[in-house]
Amino acid sequence: MAPSFDWWSKDKLRGTPVIVKMENPNWSISEISSPDDGVSDDFGGVRKGGREKNAKQITWVLLLKAHRAAGCLAYLASAGFHLASAVRRRVSSGRTDADESPALRRRFYSFIKVFLWLSIFLLAFEIAAYLKGWHIRAPDLHSISLPSSFGFRSLFAAIYSGWVRFRAEYIAPPLQFLANACVILFLIQSADRFILCLGCFWIRFKRIKPVANSTSKDVEMGDYFPMVLIQMPMCNEREVYQQSIAAVCNLDWPSSNMLIQVLDDSSDPTTQSLIKEEVEKWAHTGVRIVYRHRVIRDGYKAGNMKSAMNCSYVKDYEFVAIFDADFQPTPDFLKRTVPHFQGNDELALVQARWSFVNKDENLLTRLQNINLCFHFEVEQQVNGVFINFFGFNGTAGVWRIKALEDAGGWLERTTVEDMDIAVRAHLKGWKFIFLNDVECQCELPESYEAYRKQQHRWHSGPMQLFRLCLSDIIGSKIAMWKKANLIFLFFLLRKLILPFYSFTLFCIILPMTMFVPEAELPAWVVCYIPATMSFLNILPAPRSFPFIVPYLLFENTMSVTKFNAMISGLFQLGSAYEWVVTKKSGRSSEGDLLSLVEKEPKHHRGGSAPDFNSITKEVVNQPRKEPKKKHNRIYRKELALAFLLLTAAARSLLSAQGIHFYFLLFQGVSFLVVGLDLIGEQIE
């Protein structure tokens, strides 16, 4: 039968017209239905309004998709190029975290390269076995026929089978035991965190808050204005001293009932003269303020305040308020804290909450804000309401001087003198109050180096203190449940177990289980519970929800520093007693003074008000200093762990472990970013 050519004489089917809008970078396609377009129905007729695809339309769609894909690839390539350039510049000009000589720095880079090549070799070994179909575990060895002929292949098979048996018999059991132990600790700590959140919810639901026996009206009438000593310890902090002294001098309290001690431990003569000049300027306005500088600077901050408390005039004061160099209390701070002491003779401390002037400065400050918001609103508030005890934060608090003396005063035996005095006061039966609605502004460290040193001090000090005061806790006369709370919750669980399991479980055990698949970590340990805990941590700072994933990754990254600090403090290693003043940027100096002018605070009772307008003009008109040369640092531990995690992520692909792969990949990138000091501001 001859072929029919009727199709030539028929009208051609017209495809759907396509309008292409050439609007870079977003392409759009509009299809216009033609009344002549149609498709056949089930009865052989033509249904109007139908559309058919033709080759021309498909070509256009494919071209548009290809262009969009090319645009995405170009964007990714550009971003990768810029990131690689930044990494190259930082690696070539960076310093290691130990300030080694150039020779040591070259050896450090060589070590990193050797470590990387070794990881790649182990990964290549596993890939070769996987491609040969030998991706097996010990129980499967009897059912797998490996080559038995003499030669390279049989040698490789023997090595691989021996490796599988060795890891199954000698590595997997202790690794699985350690993993199970860390999981149990992880669950206990998660339960503690969940109970604290329930306590915070109950406080909000019941609207529980400490109430002062004397109302603000009584204070305004002059019924309760006890003698208050204010201490401002500082050391080489020329960026922030001016606005902090101004804020403290502006406190609304009778001048005759308040004395300000500026305790300057600065070693820089220029900074000393600047602070002394600032104190003298405020003294001329009628503020009772004195400048103290120690010649022998022993004991760091604790030694500084201990020396100041030995002054003869301190016996005339009932309370002492403490503000670090970057803290700026509001004028009504004393009026909202001191009245809680009236009629409450067992009360030793009233602690206010911190707020941060630079919490949105960069990603690092945002992540710190999440941690500290949870610390104050959940941990401090819950412990203050239910057990009347928490760790003193070292600043933004008012102490009863009698309680300080009863607890033994300031001691220089640890780097956490604030926690030390709080524990000793608690053992003497004194009570604490936390005011979540009274805030004192301060500054977060903006560089990773400053934050890292701060966290090292905060996590090594509690372990020093635990070693020193364990016998005192056991022999004290407080209730048994208070002793158990101090030992097991306050010290062991929150100060020792938390950094231990966080580092061991997610930075060591998890990547090792990729190379030893006989030991396993379930997906809920890797993903679901950490995500839930991060969600609970971020609840007090709801504006930070977009940063929940970076927060989870960064907390695991910081576990290296916290674990190292915990070990050094527990075993009294060399860096345990290292005290480095947290670097301040002073970004808010000018803005804070301007805000003080706008608020127009009330004059001091019995004193003259300071002239903020002239001070503001001086600050604004000060000549701009030439910016100092900044540099970054290279952190060896973080980089080594980054390579380990990324290698383990590649190894996890052979086991088709999706969640483990993504966690290891992103955690490895997080370690890499921190190791190259790509987070936060650079250091001067």
What are the residue numbers of the active site? 265, 418
What's the CA gap between 301 and 415, in Å, rounded?
A: 9
Report the SS3 class of residue 230: strand
Note whether 256 and 606 are within 8 A (CB). Answer: yes
Residue 341 sits at the vertex; the CA angle it makes with 335 and 345, to the nearest 5 degrees, is 170
Report the SS3 class of residue 176: helix
Residue with tokens 């803290």: 327
Enter the DSSP assignment of 4: P
SS in 3 state form for 537-568?
A: HHCCCHHHHHHHHHHHHHHHHHHHHHHHHHHH
Q: Would the CA dihedral through 176, 179, 185, 186 be positive or negative?
A: negative
Tokens representing 287 are 């503020």
Tokens representing 532 are 């839930």
Q: Which residues of 373-398 are buried (b: 16+ CB within 10 A; e: fewer)?
A: bbbbbbbbbbbbbebbbbbbbbbbbb
What's the CA gap between 553 and 490, in Å, rounded?
A: 25
Query: Given phi > 0 = left and psi -120 to 50 = alpha, else beta, which region is 17?
Result: beta
Q: How many CB atoms lie within 10 A of CB 64?
A: 16
Closest CA to 560 of 490, 519, 505: 505
Note whether 236 and 266 are within 8 A (CB). Answer: yes
Q: How many CB atoms lie within 10 A of CB 47?
A: 12
Report the SS3 class of residue 297: coil
Q: Would the CA dihedral through 593, 329, 582, 379 be positive or negative?
A: negative
Note whether 261 and 274 are within 8 A (CB). Answer: no
Closest CA to 667 of 563, 561, 567, 559: 559
645 — phi, psi (to 5°)? -70, -40
Note whether 95 and 631 are within 8 A (CB). Answer: yes
Closest CA to 603 of 252, 249, 222: 252
DSSP string of 572-629, one letter each residue: T-GGGG---PPP---TTHHHHHHHHHHH-PPPPTTSPPP-HHHHHHHHHTSPPPPPPP
Q: Would the CA dihedral through 93, 97, 102, 105 be positive or negative?
A: negative
Tokens representing 391 are 């760790």
